[in-house]
Amino acid sequence: MSDEKRHTIQTQLLTWYGQNKRDLPWRKNKDPYRIWVSEIMLQQTRVDTVIPYFERFMELFPTVEDLANAPEEQVLKAWEGLGYYSRVRNLHQAAKQIVHEGDGKIPSDKKSILKLKGIGAYTAGAVLSIAFDQKIPAVDGNVMRVFSRLFAIGEDIASGTTRKKMESLVEKVMPEEAPGDFNQALMDLGATICTPVSPGCLLCPVRPVCEAYEKGMEEQLPVKKKAKPPVQQEMVMAFFQHQNLFIGEKRPEQGLLAGLWGLPTFEIPKGDRHLTIIEKFCKENRIPVLNYIIKGEFQHVFSHRHWKVTVVEVELKHTGFDLPTSWSWLEKEKRDEKTWANVYHKAFETERKKV
């Protein structure tokens, strides 16, 4: 890479960013806590979705101390709807590390910040460059796409080796001054112009030095190996109810939807029927059923699995029977006091529909 190309990328990108940067609530100052929370929220989530969650989260937990000392249920409730709940669990745990094991301040060196739960190379680079003006790359999918095109790199960006090469390349291009602005400029460029489909090359500030544009390859890059399709699973969710009560299930602390609330959920073996599964379970556990009503179906895609769900309303004769350990009677009007995974919000919507 020539010095001229490096200089062009630096100056054109920073000039463009100064004129076009997005007005985002976490950019109002350089508070490392706000920047850190925003970066965790933005993982696998759109900016316009994150903004209201971020503002509400900051109202509830304005400092790292407030977050560290908050009960887990309150933190999970503030995150409800964002999904990928391991992110907020790690964020909460890292806040405790900072407040109860450290000096109460977010570390300003790479070695220390990487020791915090849930912080990897990208988040560390974002926080250290934006909040502390350190020349450290923050390479996410947007940045990988931009650099794949700028330098016509045809290697698989899903590869760890390629990511390392990209980090090294970004570090070489980064200016000594305003490294945080440079990283954010790359993020904004990838989000608004150098998009995955139909990139807006005519509006791109670095088009004159983009090798993919010069070669007409901008639509072919980056190269990314296709992920395995999600595993298909047939599921049934049971809405056990009696008068103003229904049964909720606290999910296990490990695994899918860990620690959240849900409805009793069963996987349907191939060749079996949803009602058969529920009827068998109720009989084996001596659950006094008055009636079964199939309320409807919906689909929900997780990162590695695809659920096709049938919702069955189970009207009960009474509540005088033993519940499995993870089940609890809940009042319908107080349902929102618990934190429910998105898939169960879909189940509630399905249950409310008239048959």
pLDDT at 83: 87
Inform me whether the pLDDT recorded for 94 exceeds 60.
yes
- What is the number of alpha carbons within 13 Å of residue 274 lying toward its C-beta? 21
Structure tokens that stand for 233 in this block: 């699973």
pLDDT at 1: 77
Question: Could you read off the pLDDT of 8-41 as tens digits, one per residue?
Answer: 999 999 999 999 999 999 999 999 999 999 999 9
Q: Give the sign of the dihedral formed by CA 8, CA 14, CA 16, CA 22.
A: positive
* pTM of the predicted protein model: 0.88
State the average pLDDT over residues 140-161: 93
Asked if residue 110 lies in contact with residue 104, where contact means CB atoms within 8 angstroms, the answer is no
If we measure between CA atoms, which residue out of 172, 165, 95, 181 comes closest to residue 133?
181
pLDDT at 60: 98
pLDDT at 352: 85
State the average pLDDT over residues 300-312: 92
DSSP string, 5-17: HHHHHHHHHHHHH
pLDDT at 354: 64
Active site residue 39: yes
**The pairing of beta strand 231-242 with beta strand 327-331:** unpaired
State the average pLDDT over residues 152-176: 93
Inform me whether the pLDDT recorded for 355 exceeds 60.
no
Question: Could you read off the pLDDT of 246-296 as tens digits, one per residue?
Answer: 999 999 888 888 889 999 999 998 878 878 999 999 999 999 999 999 999
Question: Could you read off the pLDDT of 181-210 as tens digits, one per residue?
Answer: 999 999 999 999 999 999 999 999 999 999
Proportion of the chain above pLDDT 70, given as a percent: 99
CA distance 128 to 106: 10
pLDDT at 258: 85
pLDDT at 257: 87
Annotated catalytic residue: which of 39, 167, 234, 313?
39
State the average pLDDT over residues 84-89: 92
> What is the overall mean pLDDT for the chain?
94
